[in-house]
Structures are given as C-alpha cells and as structure tokens.
Amino acid sequence: MNDNPTPTIPFIDLAAQRDRLQPGLDQAIAAVLGHGAFINGPEVKAFERDLAAFAGVAHAIGCGNGTDALFLPLLAHGVGAGDAVLVPSFTFVATAEVVVLTGATPVFVDVDAETFNVSAETMQKGVAEALRRGLRPRAMIPVDLFGLPADYDALNALADAEDMLVIADAAQSFGGRRGDRPVGSLAKITSTSFFPSKPLGCYGDGGAILTDDDDLADQLRSLRAHGGGKDKYDNVRIGVNSRLDTIQAAVLSCKLAILADEIVARGNAAARYNSAMPEAVMPPRIFNDAVSAWAQYTVRVANRDAVAAQLKTLGIPTAVYYPKPLHQQQAYRDYPVAGDGLPVSERLADEVLSLPMHPYLEDPVQQRILEGLRSVVTA
C-alpha cells in the first residue's frame, strides 16, 4: 500500500511535452527510419539551419554532446599547454574537463551569490592568477548557470582587453536572451547541450556550437568529422568523431518549434514561485534585461539537506546542483584558484536547492510545492 496520500511530483515532466508533440515526433522519426540516412541525414542540415536562425547567427554546427561543443572550439583555436582557460568552479564538470583535455590549465573563478554566474570582476581575478603562475590567459568559459545568460557585455569587453577568447557555455540557457539578443549571439562562440533534461533536449546525447565566424565554422565541421578535408578520407587536421545523429536532429526540430512558447511557460512558472517564496528561502535573481531559459529554479536555504529530505517525504522532489565545487573535487583540486579562494562557490554548494521546473508545471502543483516548502522551513 502506498502510504503517501499525494502522488510524487515529477522534477522535470518530459512526458507532458511528449504528449504535446507525439504525432509530429512519430512522423519525424518514421521519416528517418524510412530513408535510413542515420548519420548526416537531411534532418541534421535542416535543424542546424533552423537553430542558427533561432539564435540569430550564421552557423550552427551540430555535434555529439555539449561537452564536445566546448572541446571543439578549444581545439580549433589550438588552446593547449601553457594556456590558462578561466572557468567557474560552481558548474558541471564538463566546463573544466575539456580544458584539461587540451593540455591547458583551468583557472577556477568564483561566481556571484545571487545570479550564480561569473562576472567580469571574478574573471579579472582569474586573469591575474594565470599571469602570476606564468600562464597565458587564453580563453574564458562563462557558464549561463541554470539558464540565466551571463553578463556578456562586460565579459566580452574584458576578453577583448586581454586578447582572450570567449566560449559561452550555454548548455543550460538555449532559448534565453539578454534584451533582444538571443543566447547564441551573445559571445563569438556559444556551445550548447541537447541532453534530454535541458531546455532544448533531445532523446539521447547531442550538442551544437553557434558562431558568426565562417572560417571557424568550417574548421569545426572538419574537426567533428575526424579532421576531414574534402571528404572523410582526406584528413587535414587531427579531429574527433562527434556527430549529431539524424534521429536526434529530427526530434530537435519538433522541439525547437515550441521552444519559444516553452520558455514563456518556464518564465511564468518562475514568476509564480518568486511571488510566493517563504521568507527563509532566497529565490534566484536574474538580470533586469535577461530572459532566463530556467533550466533550473534554484533557491538558497539553510539546512538544505534536511529541507530536501523532508520535502521528499511529502512527495516533492528536489535536486542539488552542485553539491561540491570543482576546485574541491579530487580530480581538480590541484588546479589554480583565483583570488583568495572561492567562498561563494563553497557556500552555494551547501545552500542551493533546485525545485521542480518545466514548461508544463501547473499552478496547483506549484502551490503544493510552496506549501510543502513553507511547512518545512517554518517547522
């Protein structure tokens, strides 16, 4: 017998989206099964064209996942030994992992306590740390954490002044905007992920790189296909195998068609959370001109683990992104840290809690979540 009187709430409800798209998805997948071009089929080109148009840039280059979408631009620019790449510590490991794989050194920087994003100030400390260690500050990878596009005007200005490359890690923010500029057009290079739970997610792995730079786009298309030249048996550079599958591209085209609408729905859900958050819980802050893609709705709360455990008993799922900053992880703790340490990242790791968030989250469910939260934090 289930002694839980109310059903468990999904943390992300992919089934609701599937129900909405089902006939179109079935048709799109059946079309791929029909023509059989599972690799580099026509759906890949069509999706890349539509994705670039959505983001307002000249090129979208599909690849195998969001991690490769970060790795390939570093490869294209020859980033390697002796170079420093500045990354937040409070992020998913992929952001730093790709740096180490090139032979360069990640320099961890802190984030802002309210937006959870890096700033030009925190990145500036990273530049100083790189120079202090005799490394060449070569690139920075700001992360649009939880869907909020970072402050690219200031970050691009710093990068220009320091002659550094900016690769926007927009794995969580595709569909977001700053003013009227969509994610994808905010930095010279933008990398995103189509991991199933992302705002634009497929049914497996996938990723893409967005840029206006024609030469870079050509290089990336070559790098993702074993460094191919005029064809794949003409190898002009060292590359990798990182393709977006045709079936995933077909799925993504269906989902891209409703992304703008889903971002509005996520924004509405975030506004409902914001307006009724208990006082003991700090809601996320976003920049005035930003539209967040709300990959996650993440609050800060004291006694986070106890709060999460009690919410679980009420059938309310939560998640902790991220329980340990990267500079404290076993694999990364010997890499440089900017300034006098990263106190904000360390504190956030103890306090953050992500609540259920998706475009199909309805008001009564949110009221149940908020009531549960209120009862737990005031108990």
Ligand X SMILES: Cc1ncc(COP(=O)(O)O)c(C=O)c1O
Name residue, tokens 């990798």.
240
Interface segment toward ligand X; rule CB under 6 A; list 22-30, 87-95, 120-128, 361-369: 87-95
- Rounded least distance, CB 351 to ligand X, Å: 19
- Of 65 and 292, which CB lies nearer to ligand X in the complex structure? 65
Task: Give strand ranges (E) for the chain.
Answer: 59-63, 83-88, 105-109, 136-140, 165-169, 177-178, 181-182, 189-193, 207-211, 281-282, 290-291, 297-301, 352-355
- Rounded least distance, CB 225 to ligand X, Å: 18
Question: What strands, in cross-sheet order, belong to the sheet with 281-282?
Answer: 281-282, 297-301, 352-355
- Of 193 and 248, which CB lies nearer to ligand X in the complex structure? 193
Q: Considering only residues 32, 76, 79, 94, which one is a binding residue for ligand X as defined by CB under 6 A?
A: 94
- Rounded least distance, CB 287 to ligand X, Å: 18
For 54, the token pair is: 């959505």
Interface segment toward ligand X; rule CB under 6 A; list 60-68, 257-265, 310-318, 357-365: 60-68
Q: Considering only residues 182, 207, 336, 372, which one is a binding residue for ligand X as defined by CB under 6 A?
A: 207
- Rounded least distance, CB 70 to ligand X, Å: 6
Alpha-carbon 50 to chain mean position:
20
Name residue, tokens 């679980």.
312
For 148, the token pair is: 């909020």
- Of 17 and 192, which CB lies nearer to ligand X in the complex structure? 192
- Rounded least distance, CB 342 to ligand X, Å: 17
DSSP 8-state symbol, 140:
E
DSSP 8-state symbol, 300:
E
Q: Considering only residues 129, 151, 169, 351, which one is a binding residue for ligand X as defined by CB under 6 A?
A: 169
Cα–Cα distance measured from residue 236 to residue 221, given in angstroms and rounded to the nearest whole number: 12
Positions 355 through 374 that interact with ligand X (CB under 6 A):
none
- Of 94 and 216, which CB lies nearer to ligand X in the complex structure? 94
- Of 91 and 117, which CB lies nearer to ligand X in the complex structure? 91
Q: Considering only residues 91, 119, 124, 318, which one is a binding residue for ligand X as defined by CB under 6 A?
A: 91
Q: β-strands 189-193, 207-211: how paired?
A: antiparallel
Q: Does 92 contact ligand X by CB under 6 A?
A: yes
- Rounded least distance, CB 116 to ligand X, Å: 11
Q: β-strands 83-88, 105-109: how paired?
A: parallel
Positions 120 through 149 that interact with ligand X (CB under 6 A):
143
Q: Does 95 contact ligand X by CB under 6 A?
A: yes
Q: Does 298 contact ligand X by CB under 6 A?
A: no
- Rounded least distance, CB 148 to ligand X, Å: 12
Name residue, tokens 């068609």.
257
- Of 168 and 370, which CB lies nearer to ligand X in the complex structure? 168
Q: β-strands 136-140, 83-88: how paired?
A: parallel
- Rounded least distance, CB 205 to ligand X, Å: 6
DSSP 38-98: -SS-HHHHHHHHHHHHHHTSSEEEEES-HHHHHHHHHHHTT--TTEEEEEESSS-THHHHH
Question: Could you list the residues that contact ligand X (CB under 6 A)?
Answer: 65-67, 91-92, 94-95, 143, 169, 171-172, 193, 195, 205, 207
